Amino acid sequence: MAKNLSSTRIALCSTPAWRLDKFIEGHLLGDITFLTELRTDVNSISAFLKERCFQGAAHPMRVSRVVMGGSYNRYTVLKGRSEVDLLVFFNNLTCFDDQFKLQKEVIEEIQKHLCQFQQEKRLREKFKVQSSDQPNFRSVSFKLSYPKFQQEVEFHMQTAYDALYEVRRKENHNCEIYNKVYARLIRECTMLGKEGEFNICFMELQQDFLWKRPCELKNLICLVKHWYQLCKEKLREPLPPQYALELLTVYAWEHELPDKHETQTARGFRTVLELITKYLCLRIYWTLYYDVLHEQVNAYLYSQVKRVSPLILDPADPTWNVAGLNLQGWCILAEEAKAWLDYPCFKNRDGSRVSSWDVPPDKKGFVFL
């Protein structure tokens, strides 16, 4: 993987702006056949866990569903990507804090049955549970190998409270249902001091946020993620979360609403890197799922937006500042972004610099009650 990253770093650096779309298509986009096979295998594992977990136990806890998260369910997966998050939802967790209280018991149960799944060779030799000397009650890991695609994928399986059960159950996803969920989230987070720690419960909304976006934006996200991986390999320092850069890319795209142009991708890429260099001014949020007319949600959002930058609120979880608190990481990433702005990938055919979109780092226009 490191060798591949090094070669694609050179390739990206030397790719002219008008050829970036071809670079993404040829070097970054995942293989559809591989992704289809991967999802089929995950469905087999999910069905097994639904059938086996806590069967015969006196309590009614059962697996209700398993959700594959992140890029593999958003079609912004990078070729060679090696890690995936899986969420297991149980039918009788009644509040957010249950996710923590029952975590040890549930993870042990899942690991037991994954080991059985491996012993029964349901997926032959391609499936292997990861062993660890240190007990980890937050997740259990396993690998799937695909020699014909020269790919190995490591899964991290976690458990979660099904906060969106009522939303999924009702066809009309009205504000009242979301208000109930977010008011409860805010109340429990502030009371328990666990802001942002329940964001995995909203993974499906995070995916929906990107699902209907145009292919051009998804490809730009792939390019930004690839650049992030190059930085991660080179810098060897803790950096801001990759998800923060994905959201930054969406924000830039939404603000500009780009037109068709041969350097559109380069302009978007440059805009994101320039926003990274302005990290101390970042104050970005969305109100797609949050109802700003709801008194409790509005008051909480007001307090969040007034916090110190950088601020990038998760569109699905108002308690989670995805930008995090690692200012040193942002500083290091910003310096790398500045260096990249002079590379050939931001040059027009006549040698001039590609212009960025006019996107402010501080979102304006939110009206508080």
What pLDDT is recorded for position 2?
45
Query: Domain range holding 131?
Result: 31-163
Q: What is the pLDDT of residue 369?
A: 53
Residue 336 lies in a domain: no
pTM of the model as a whole:
0.90
The answer to whether residue 297 sits within a structural domain is no
**69, 203 contact by CB (below 8 A):** yes
Query: Number of folded domains in the chain?
Result: 1
205 C-beta neighbours (distance < 10 Å), count: 20
47, containing H or E segment: helix 32-52
* pLDDT value, residue 135: 54
Contact yes or no for 105/121 (Cβ under 8 A): no
Q: Which of 140, 136, 175, 164 is nearest to 154 (CA)?
A: 140
277 lies in some domain: no
- pLDDT reported for residue 276: 98
In a domain, 37, yes or no: yes
Question: Half-sphere exposure of residue 250, counting CA atoms within 13 Å on the CB side?
Answer: 24
Q: Would 143 be classed as within a structural domain?
A: yes
pLDDT digits (tens, 9 = 90+) for 234-268: 998 899 999 999 999 999 999 876 666 778 999 99
- Rounded-to-integer distance, Cα 183 and Cα 50, Å: 30
For position 84, what pLDDT does the model report? 84
CA dist 122 and 173 (Å) reads 38
Would residue 46 count as lying in a domain?
A: yes
Q: Is residue 58 situated within a structural domain?
A: yes
Beta strand 151-160 with 83-90 is parallel
Number of H helices, E strands in the chain: 13, 8
What stretches in the chain show pLDDT beneath 70? 1-10, 70-75, 81-82, 132-136, 169-174, 257-260, 365-369
The predicted structure's pLDDT at residue 3: 46
Exposed/middle/buried for 176, CB within 10 Å: 0-12, 13-18, 19+? Answer: exposed
In this structure, what CATH number is given to the domain that contains residue 38? Answer: 3.30.460.10
Residue 86 within a domain: yes
**pLDDT value for 355:** 92
Report CA torsion sign: 41, 46, 47, 51.
positive
